[in-house]
Chains A and B, each alone.
Chain A
Amino acid sequence: MSELLIRHACVVDPVNRISGEIMDLAVRDGRIVESVSDRAEVIDAQGFLTMAGGIDSHTHICGTKVNFGRYMSPEDMRAGRTLKKGQMHSTSGYSVPTTYGNSYRYATMGYTAVLEGAMAPLEARHTHEEFMATPLQDTMANVLFDGNWPVMEAVRDRDVKRVAAIVAWVLTAVKGFAIKITNPGGTEAWGWGKNVTCIRDPVPYFEVTPAEIIETLIRANEILRLPHSVHLHCNNLGTPGNYSCTIGSMDVAPDLNKERQSLYVTHVQFHSYGGTSWKDINSKAHVVADAVNRKPHIVIDMGQMMFGKTTTMTADGPMEFNLYKLHHNKWSNHDVELETGSGIIPVYYSRKSIVNSVMWAIGLELALLIKNPEQCLLATDNPNGSPFVKYPEIIALLMSNPYRQAEIATLPPETESRISLPAIDRELDWNEIAMMTRAGQGRALGLRKLGRGHLGLGAIADIAIYPLSIGAIDPSKEYTRVIEALRLTRYTIKNGKVIARDGEILSNRNKTTIWVRPKIPEQHRMDHDPDFIRNFERYYTVRMSNYPVQEAYVPESTCIETEAVW
């Protein structure tokens, strides 16, 4: 039995309506409890800001394309090296750190759980190997279905139950967490070097539309009662004028779940562009925000872009090729048979560029114009918008209008007429920030009731204590202090154990991998379906028996079983 008592914590926990109250937190065996014995280890939080451990609901840190991004970028690797120290391994990488680099940097920033944004089922084993080498966060994976052949055929045949059965088989086989669709239909078209132009554009050969794929998968998701909703990266990422496609995609989503959203739309900044070309691109964040405000069954994340060098990597193969033609940087591509695609290209977002300045403003506009912070979560689509180590700066921007205005003053003057940010004076408070960085994620991922994203009794003791007395500072004026304090926790606690203190890592390993096993009626299972089996063995280049991810890859495993509503 292990006990911990955190004294004088200034707790911000919007789920339990605690808003900056100085209190004690008692932890036993990794959970928050009412009280502990006097044998407990005691930590004095000195009145510092204390929140549940951060949860990143969309980040690219583990898997085939992330590793591609690493080994094709030795110049990015050498830019972020740290020495080995004691039990801490050496790390490398600035925008695409090694797994230890990611894990240590997230840990010292107070993040204790991460959702890998994209995992191709065929290569899931690779993601799980990297999860094993990410020792200090609980890990989960979004499983890609956007170009999945059996799914598209079932969608074409309007057989939502078959779609559900396929999803159930795949998620269980690859120990995945949720349904992810990236440029639905577009990744299959990219198998021929083509793309889809928007949600009503049929996919070559398969004759389904992205809208049909999205809607059917949402229904299948709810039949399976998965903890998270469908997680969508809309078609047309990055294209001027794409905001209408984004709103169209949101309109497709039915409202099927009382406890959480029915659709999570990711990195919406990249999908909120007006205009017709790079020359007249402008922000339509206000239109998108308006749509989100009217749709409580939609949750988004910002996909904030920050200036500087980074690497873009997504399953959206055609988009990455377009970036290549634009910038002529080194470009990698990796299409996955029967499933999906991916592309990787380094970028530099410049303050001197009107286009980049508009992009920067859009992410912030979304967060400030969407009224309920539970509906707009903080993320940068790491590393696409920027490396996650910039989250503290984004938080500071959201909390401080003067900071935003000072930044706007450094942008090209032509930017101002294309964005609404200069006129927005809303400043988020600590409750809203906590909602956008942990509480909202807990809800959106269906994990709140399992004790994540909050500090109520029974919650998992994943706790971040930041060296900041929030009563004593005004974040609007003292934004540099906010940034400094949120960069490094005084303590990061995971399952009740201190894993980081003032930037030093104190634990070798403390994590689990969360995945789902949706149960459907036996006779409908895909491993008994002769068509599914026959097509699998004919068209894949691996045998069906070798496809599932074996137990050996999840030594620490948290399996959420669900019963489908058939």
Chain B
Amino acid sequence: MLHEDVVCPFCACLCDDLKVETDNGTIVKVDNACDLGNHKFLRDDNHRLKEPIRRTPSGWTSATLQHAIDRTVEILLGADRPLLYGWSGTHGEAQSIGVHMAEVLGGVIDSTTSVCHGPSILAIQEVGHPGCTLGQVKNRADLVVYWGANPIEAHPRHMSRYTTYTDGFFLDRAFKERKVIVVDIRRTQTAEVADEFILIKKGGDYAVLSALRAIVRGKSDMIPATVAGVTKEQLLRIAEMCKKAKFGAFFFGMGITQTQGKYKNIRNAIELVDELNRHTKFTLTPMRGHYNVYGFNEVCTWMTGYPYAVDFCRGMAFYNPGETSAVDILTRKECDACLVVASDPAAHFPKDAVRHLGEIPTVQIDPYPNTTTAFCELQIPVAVTGIDAQGTSYRMDGVPIRVKSILNRGYPTDTDILGEIYRRIKEAKRV
């Protein structure tokens, strides 16, 4: 059976033009997806956990769903400071339940945001977000900047769907009319297709952004001959390109969110875009990673007021990344139980944080065994959103798209499992 306009549940490009062919409960062909999307659909079969598993002294054994839920409820209710982490790889309806659970438990809920684009959000909270939907870029942009981002490898269809290689309403021969600037500490694959590549010394982004801001303001006298390896002459040229553009679009990634200064780097980028808006039209978009990481921020915000790292221990929401974020809580051993949903912290977190995961009762809800599995006492497999579960997802620019279910493999969804756990917790707490 041919499914059209399928939404890819991998990265936050959230391409919704995939064609997926299924045959007898298997995915046999995928068109229009990039390598990453292909892999997600075509290799799904081989890797799924068949049923819940629990750890015993003699190794892993299977568990009934009933036992798995019972045990998860027991762990969460027994904790003084439970941490509910992950969320970026599932649909919004499940994320909502997660937030409700954290509230009723008096625990902390956090998402992969805090190790990814959390700094972007922190910067937005200081200076706002001059943004737009991706179609504005596609139809209007004659200048695209990728700063600390390597879309050819991390968001492979970004450039062909939204920026460099796509035609737009106002640009007939977009590829010729558009200019691309890439800023990075090394010559990435994306740098190879740039019209202008800025090689910057590690940790130098902030200084370069400050310099560009001053130059755009018309004040360049105080800037030294080179800043972080970039010549003043190149800085002046870049500033001029930006000011002369009819519509500039700035995209950025981990290259500046996760390097020294973190959110201050992003803030500086936003303030540069603000300054450019006094001369021409300029927008800024974070290259979000997981296909629904932004969705968690949206859901968590309309429910609690804050986009991630929310602590409910006092019966209302308290937000302070650095204190209420998962890595900090785990590293400081501040939580005594953990539920991981739709993410793989053990593969990404610092060693001390991961060690603590292994020291406390940890349960994971995830279709596939992963690095985190090694630190859990229990794992419950669920349907994969976009393959056998449907729900809402938010693209990197905030556009919400409903991700489809194209098969039924007989798994419960995140919403089913979390819904049941939440119901039982409410019952126990007589709410």
Contact = CB atoms under 8 A, between A and B. Distances in A.
A and B in direct contact, judged by CB atoms within 8 A: yes
B401 A333 contact: no
B153 to A, nearest CB: 21
A561 interface: no
Contact of B431 (A86, A92, A338): A86
Contact of A92 (B127, B168, B317, B398): B317
Given A92-B306, A100-B303, A332-B130, A72 B402 contact: no
Interface in B90-113: 92, 96, 100, 103-104
Interface string A402-446: 000000000000000000000000000000000000000000000
Contacts of B103: 84, 89-90
Interface string A300-334: 00000000000000000000010011000011111
Interface stretch (A73-81, A455-463, A492-500): A73-81
Query: At the interface, is chain A mostly helix, strand, loop or mixed?
Result: mixed
A83 B315 contact: yes
Interface in B384-421: 392, 394, 398-402
A421 B270 CA distance: 43
Nearest to A93: B305
A192 B306 contact: no
Interface string B231-244: 00000000000000
Contacts of B25: none
Interface stretch (B195-203, B221-229, B276-284, B357-365): B276-284
A125 B400 contact: yes
A556 B15 CA distance: 30
Contacts, number: 190
Contacts of A92: 304-306, 316-317
A440 to B, nearest CB: 30
A541 B158 CA distance: 11
Contacts of A62: 302
Contacts of A68: 129, 398
Contacts of B316: 81-84, 90-92
B306 A71 contact: yes
Interface in B201-260: 246-247
Interface residues of A, number: 63
A314 B313 CA distance: 35
Contact of B132 (A74, A98, A334): A334
B138 A541 contact: yes
B307 interface: yes
A398 to B, nearest CB: 32
B131 interface: yes
Contacts of B140: 191-192
B392 A125 contact: yes
A324 B277 CA distance: 11
A163 to B, nearest CB: 19
B390 to A, nearest CB: 8
A338 to B, nearest CB: 6
A337 B4 CA distance: 23
A86 B3 CA distance: 45
Interface string B299-321: 10111111100001011111100
Interface stretch (A6-14, A239-247, A279-287, A543-551): A543-551
Contact of A545 (B4, B104, B170): B4
A122 interface: yes
A546 B402 contact: yes
Contacts of A333: 128-132, 283
Contacts of A78: 305, 318-319
A267 to B, nearest CB: 22
B121 interface: yes
A77 B128 contact: no
B316 to A, nearest CB: 4
Contacts of A74: 125, 305-306, 319
Interface stretch (A126-134, A361-369, A373-381, A470-478): A126-134
Interface in A101-129: 101, 122-123, 125-126, 129
Contact of B399 (A86, A98, A122, A330): A122
Interface string A249-272: 000000000000000000000000
A168 B247 CA distance: 32
A552 B162 CA distance: 29
Contacts of A126: 298, 394, 398, 400
B401 A542 contact: yes
B135 interface: yes
A192 B140 CA distance: 8
A447 to B, nearest CB: 26
B315 A541 contact: no
Contacts of A59: none
A191 B135 CA distance: 11
Given A93-B305, A545-B4, 7 more contacts: A72-B125, A126-B398, A129-B299, A539-B169, A541-B133, A541-B135, A546-B5
Interface of B: 4-5, 7, 16-17, 92, 96, 100, 103-104, 121, 124-136, 138-140, 161-162, 167-170, 246-247, 274, 277-278, 280-281, 283, 297-299, 301-307, 312, 314-319, 392, 394, 398-402, 431
30 contacts: A67-B298, A67-B302, A71-B297, A72-B129, A74-B305, A77-B317, A82-B316, A83-B314, A84-B104, A84-B316, A89-B100, A90-B316, A92-B306, A98-B301, A98-B303, A126-B394, A129-B302, A133-B303, A192-B246, A193-B277, A205-B170, A332-B129, A333-B130, A334-B129, A335-B133, A337-B139, A539-B139, A543-B17, A546-B7, A546-B16
**6 tightest Cβ-Cβ pairs between the two chains A and B:** A337-B135, A92-B305, A77-B305, A193-B281, A330-B128, A335-B132
